[in-house]
Every structure is written in C-alpha cells, then in structure tokens.
Amino acid sequence: MPYFDAASAAPLHPIARQALLASLDEGWADPARLYREGRRARMLLDAAREAAAEVVGCRADELVFTSSGTRAVHSGIAGTLAGRRRTGRHLIVSAVEHSSVLHSAEVFEADGGAVTRVPVRRSGAVTVEAYEGALRPDTALACLQSANHEVGTEQPVAAVAEVCREAGVPLLVDAAQSLGWGPVEGPWSLLAASAHKWGGPSGVGLLVVRKGVRFAAQGPADERESGRAAGFENLPAIVAAAASLRAVRAEAAAEAVRLRELTERIRARVPELVPDVEVVGDPERRLPGVVTFSCLYVDGETLLHELDREGFSVSSGSSCTSSTLTPSHVLRAMGVLSEGNVRVSLPPGAAEEDVERFLAVLPGAVAGVREKLGAPAPVAQVRDPGEDALVVDALGKRCPIPVIELAKVIGDVPVGGTVRVLSDDEAARLDIPAWCAMRGQEYVGEEPADRGSAYLVRRLG
C-alpha cells in the first residue's frame, strides 16, 4: 500500500532499525553511572550526540535530546523567553508555524506577553521585510520554521536570521520537516527537530541552543541533558535517531532530485486530470517530496477515505477532516481554498509506478465524491424583492455544501446581480472567496447575519 504521508511520519529507515536493535543490547544501562554498563551507555550517548551535531552543524555541547520535537519547541521557546525576560516580553512567530509554536505563543500571551504573528503571502512564505518590521526593542525571541509542514513551502530562514542577529534577537528555527534534506543556513540561535520526520524512531527530538543565547530551563531542575530535557534518556531510540539522520542526509541529494521530479509531475498533472483544482504552496522554493492541492466541491474527509480504499495513505488540511470543523490555520493564513485539500508527501524510495497509479485513481475518486455531494438537495432560495439578488440558505451545512449550492444558483441571477450565501461554517470564509477567484466572479465581502455570516458574491459572467 503506497504510503504518501511522510510529512506526518516517515517510515523507519533500515539504518535506524539496525541501530535500535543493536543498542537495545548495549545501551540499556544508566549513562550517568560509572560502572562498566553505564560507561558503555555513556559512550553510545556521546557518540550519538556528536553524530547529530555534525549533521546539524553545531557543537555537541549545544545539542540535547528531548522526548519529541514538540517538547523541543516548547522547551526552547519557554527557556529563551525566561532567559531574556529583562530584554522584554515580545515574541514573533509566523502565522503558519507548527501548532507547537503557536500553542507556546498562546501560553505566553495568556501570561501577559505580547505576540506578533507575521502574515504570509499566498505561497505560504513570509517576507524578510515583514519580520524586520515586527522586531521591537523589547523582542525576546523570534520563531520561524524552515519549511511548512502542510504545503512544503521553504522559508527565507537565512535572511531572517541575519536580520534578527543584527537586531540582537535570537531566532528559533523549527527544522522538523527539512533537517533530513540539508542543513539550516544562516546565523540562527536555536533549532528544534523530530526524529520521526526523517525516518528515525518516534519519541526523540533534538534541541540546539547556541552558545551565548541567554537560556533558563523551565520546570523542576534535572541533571540530565544539561538540565534542558528532564528524565531518563531513551538511549536506543536516540542512537537510532542519530544513525538514521546521518544516513538520510548522505542519501538526500540524489533522492531530492528524484522526488522533486515526481512531485512536479503531480503538480502539473493534477489540474489537467481534475477540473476545479488549486495547487497550493510555492512552486519552486519547496521541500522535495511535498505537494498540496485543494478540490472544489469535495469533502476532504470523504476524499481521503476514497483514496484509502484505493490503497493510498495521504493527509489533508481540510476543515472537513477536523473535529473542530475549522480550516487548517496554514490554509487560512495563505488565503487559499481549504475544501477537498490533499497533501501528498512522498517518503524516500517512493516508487514512480505508485505515483502514476495515484494519478490514475485520483480523477475517479474526486468525481465520485462530487457526484455524491452534488445530488439535488433542498436549498432555500429567496429573491430579494425589487433587486437582482438571491439568498442561499446554507446554514447548518458543512463544507463544501455552501460552495456547491452557490455554484448551482449563480447562473440564476443576471450579470451584475448578487448571491447572498448564509453559512455558519468557518470554512466558508475561505472557500467562497477562493471559489470566486477560480470561477471569475466577484467576492463583495462578508456581513453579519442572525446566524453565522452572509457572504456576498456578484455575478460577472
């Protein structure tokens, strides 16, 4: 079964498996003890740290292992904000950061801190000028991912890091998605990553804090991992994580070329094979194996189930796949279509024939979902007296039904007339403007309504 969700978790690399099994026999003792078994465990831990530091491009004593990438982010942000409290209580993040960063920002804000959320362009990338403009005399820390988890867009980390360095502000980089592909360039100050993203075992993260960064570890003191990651080290998993990081980095250059060709094939052919599709994310500055697209008139969760039945494991940022029924914060920040969203993230070694079969299966899966959702449904339509306007009541109906019903009735008003869509689904705030852009209609704006919101669309043709 083709697994196309490597951005969530990459399959365990063969080197990781070998290292894990070997270290289960050799690395079970406490590396803090002085007897023979402890010394052997300490040697394995030190070797893993040195190997990981070499790949990252830092000193071994700057790197600690954590229980996850999320824990590394939380610890890095909290420790730096506490260490630089005298500088000020201002934090900068991008609007498309991983939830671990955004949740840390929310906690900081609730505790009285100030947070600036830097917007992104439609490609999902920030501008260096936006980060530079967000810097203040009281800025304690800035955060920026190296590449986006959902759409694969790479960020201008090196340039932002240089701007932050000149301002005397440390930059924390979430490198979870990119570290297996190459080093993070620029004068960054902190870095966090997660082993299961590059083919290591789950439950291992790493946090790098450069020398000179004021850092105060939070929580009860612990003598392990320089006091920055409490608890007994999962040594076999750490050894496997470091070994697999070296292995995937050695293979990265050749594999990146191959995967870029496959994802470019998907980016080019999906709009040819499936009508009414928006491919999102930067077309050039992107991770090698990630491609994301959204399909009009499609329920994202239903589409994922259809593709699963055909043997393909993919993910989605569509609101339909979320228990909160709200669109992905990344898609929302980008201002792109959220309904029917599919993220394909190819793991190293993905087969060309599997990509071709995916492209063969996708049109039928999308058509099937659209057919199910396009069946005649009761729609309350009321012509405004004396006006060339139509009201579509889509209250209580979830994505993509409001857009489908809009599409059905837009032809019933004359050119210049309007359709007023009533919806209480958060996704409509993204999907209706996106539909207008794709179909050549004018999105007039949003108005408050008794329930939900009213979205005004003017027919242009």
User: Are 394 and 407 in contact, with CB atoms under 8 Å apart?
Assistant: no
User: Are 410 and 381 in contact, with CB atoms under 8 Å apart?
Assistant: no
From the list 266, 288, 280, the residue with the least C-alpha distance to 177 is 288
From the list 146, 98, 94, 86, the residue with the least C-alpha distance to 116 is 94
User: Are 299 and 373 in contact, with CB atoms under 8 Å apart?
Assistant: yes
- Map residue 261 onto helix, strand or coil: helix
Compute the distance between CA of residue 428 and CA of residue 188 in angstroms, rounded to an integer.
Answer: 38
Distances (CA, A) of 75 to 160, 190, 381: 22, 11, 54
Distances (CA, A) of 431 to 186, 335, 337: 37, 9, 5
β-bridge pairing 341-345 and 380-383: unpaired
Q: Cα angle at 45 between 101 and 179, to 5 degrees? A: 40
Compute the distance between CA of residue 225 and CA of residue 222 in angstroms, rounded to an integer.
Answer: 8
Residue 143 is among the residues annotated as catalytic for this protein: no
Give a three-class secondary structure readout of 153-197: EECCHHHHHHHHHHHCCCEEEECCCCCCCCCCCCCCCEEEEEHHH
For helices 99-110 and 69-83, what crossing angle results, to 10°? Answer: 30
User: Are 171 and 77 in contact, with CB atoms under 8 Å apart?
Assistant: no
- The residue to which tokens 């990146």 are assigned: 256
Compute the distance between CA of residue 149 and CA of residue 459 in angstroms, rounded to an integer.
Answer: 36
The beta-strand segments (E) located in 265-356 are: 277-280, 290-295, 341-345
Q: Looking at 58, 164, 295, 320, which residue is catalytic?
A: 320
The beta-strand segments (E) located in 366-405 are: 380-383, 389-393
Compute the distance between CA of residue 192 and CA of residue 94 in angstroms, rounded to an integer.
Answer: 16
- The residue to which tokens 């669309």 are assigned: 457
Compute the distance between CA of residue 351 and CA of residue 312 in angstroms, rounded to an integer.
Answer: 13
Residues noted as catalytic: 320
